[in-house]
Amino acid sequence: MKSFRALLLLLILIMLASCGVPGVNVTVGDDTTKPNSTMELKPTDAPKPTTENSISVVKPAGDDTTNTQDNSDAGIGGKKPASTDNGADAKSPSTLEDVMAATVQIGVLDATWQEVGTCTGSIIDPRGLILTNFHCIGDNETGEYNNADGIDNIYITLNPRNPPKFQFIAQTVEADAGKDIAILRIIATTNGEPPANCLNLPAITLDTASQVEIGQKVTSVGYPGVGGDTLTIASGQVVGFDEYSMSGQGRTYEAIKYDASDSAGISGGPIINEQFEQVAIAHAGRSDQDKGGKLSLARPIELADELINSADLVRIPGCNGAAAAQLNGPAQPEDPTTNNGGNTDPTTSETYDISGLLLDSVSSEPIVNGYVVILKPEYDWADVDYDDLETYVLLAVETDSNGEYTLSVTDEMAQSLVSYGLFADNYDTWTGDAVDLTEIYDKDTDRWIDIYMDATK
C-alpha cells in the first residue's frame, strides 16, 4: 500500500508540473520552464502590434475567435500590413468593390467657394482622410490653395452605377506642390456641422512596400467626366518612368508612365494593382496629336508616405471630441466697376472680351476664316472625335477679314489650364493641352498676343 501511495504521489506531482502550476520547475537536461506567476500583465504592458495598420487584428494560428476594434482612435487604416509569422495578413484581401467604395469625387472650390471643377481622391483612413493631387486644391507654382481655407466638396461613391453623392466638406491638412500630392480631412457634413461621431468610411489599402515595375498591369479608378458622371475604370500597364517637379523648381520626383486611357477629372484618383491595392496617384497626361500618342502619368504611392504619417496625427472634427474647424470664409467677388479704367485684366475681371490677330508666319498677312477653338474642361485633344466636334468644343471663333478674332473669357477659364487649338485652310493645325491663357495675354494692350501660323507645305 505504501508503494502504491508513493507511486500515486509521484504521478500527481508530474501532472501538476506538466500543467504549469506556479512554483513547480521541471528540468530536462539544461532546459528549464520557470514559474510565470510572479508578473501581472497589465493592459499598458500588452505587446504593441507590429503592423502599420492599427485598425486590423491578426488572429493567432488556430484561434477561431473574432476580434473587433473601434475605429475611432485608429490611425491610417489602409496601409498594407506586414505579414505575420504564419503568413497571414492583418487586413482581408481587397476587392474592386472595396476600391470603388473608397474612391471619391472632389468638387474643386475657388476663392469664393464656388465649385469650378472636379478631381478624384481615395479615402485612406475611415475617419475621413482623403488622398489626392495638389493641383486639385491649389496652384503648384505658387504653392497656394485655391481658397483661403483650403476646403473642397466631397462626393461619396454609394453605387458605381449612379453619380456620387455630395456628403462632406474637407480641408487640406498636408500637401507638397512639387510631388503634386495633398491630403484632406473631412471637417463637416453638407450642413456645415462636424459629423456627430467618428466616421467609419470604406478605406483603400495602400501598397507602399512594393515597387512598381515596367509591364505591370494597373487600373485607374475615378471620375474623368468622359462618358457621364459615374465612376470609370481603365486598365493598362506600366510602360516607363519619368522624373520632374510639378512646382517647376527644386527637387524632382519619379512619375510612372502607364497606357490606360485617362482624361481630365481622374487627377488624384487611385491607380491599383491586381491585388486591388493602391500603388500610385493619377495626376497628369501627355498627348501628341501629330504622332497619335497619349500617355498617362502617376506619382508612386511611396512618395506620399511622409505626408500620410503626418496626417495620421491630425484630429478630425467630430471625432474623439475634436473641435470644429475654424474657417475664414469665402472671399467676396471683386466688383468689376472698381477695375482700373475698366481694364479687362483676366486675373481680376469676372468676364471679359479680348481680341487678337491670326497671322501668316512668313508674310504677317492676316489669316481670314481661321478658327480659334477652346475645348470643354473635361476633354483634351486626344479625346476629340472630329466628326462630332460639337460635343467637345466650348468656344470656336472665326477670324474676320483683318485676321481678328474675339474670345469671351471667364475667370474660371483664365484661372485654369485649357485645351486650345488653331485651324485654318492651307495652314498647319496647332493644338495644345494645358494652355495657360494668361501667358498669351498682353496686359499693356489688353489683347491676346499676335499668333502666327505656318502655311502647309
H/E stretch holding 9 reads helix 2-18
Residues listed for the chain: 457
Give ∠ CA 250-255-260 in degrees, rounded to 5.
150
In the sheet that 451-453 helps form, which strands lie side by side, from edge to edge?
Answer: 404-410, 351-360, 451-453
Task: Give the pLDDT of residue 40.
Answer: 26
Task: Give the pLDDT of residue 163.
Answer: 95
DSSP label at 194?
Answer: P
C-alpha grid cell for residue 65? 475567435
Q: Distance between alpha carbon 67 and the CA centroid of its chain, in Å? A: 32
Domain-wise residue ranges, the chain: 96-205, 217-307, 346-453
Q: What is the CATH number of domain 217-307?
A: 2.40.10.10
Task: Give the pLDDT of residue 300.
Answer: 96
Task: Give the pLDDT of residue 437.
Answer: 82
If you count DSSP H runs as helices and E runs as strands, how many of each does the chain have, helices first?
5, 23
* Superfamily, domain 96-205: Trypsin-like serine proteases (2.40.10.10)
50-107 per-position pLDDT tens digit: 333 322 222 223 333 333 334 444 444 455 443 333 333 345 568 999 999 999 999 9
Q: Does the predicted TM-score (pTM) go above 0.85?
A: no
Phi-psi region of 374 (alpha: psi -120 to 50; beta: other; left: phi over 0): beta
Residues contacting 59, CB < 8 A, separation 6+: 65, 67, 88
Specify whether the CB–CB gap between 196 and 316 falls below 8 A.
no
Query: Which residues of the chain are modeled with pLDDT < 50?
Result: 1-2, 4, 7-77, 80-90, 336-349
Task: Give the pLDDT of residue 200.
Answer: 95
135-177 per-position pLDDT tens digit: 999 999 899 999 999 999 999 999 999 999 999 999 999 999 9
- As a whole number of angstroms, the distance between CA 354 and CA 340 comes to 16
Asked if 96-205 and 217-307 have one fold, the answer is: yes
Q: What is the DSSP string of 19-73?
A: TT-TT---EETTEE-----S----GGGSPPP-SS-SS--PPPTT--------GGG
Helix (H/G/I), strand (E/B), else coil: 340: helix
Give me the CATH topology for the region 346-453: Immunoglobulin-like (2.60.40)
Q: Which of 121, 158, 365 is nearest to 266 (CA)?
A: 121
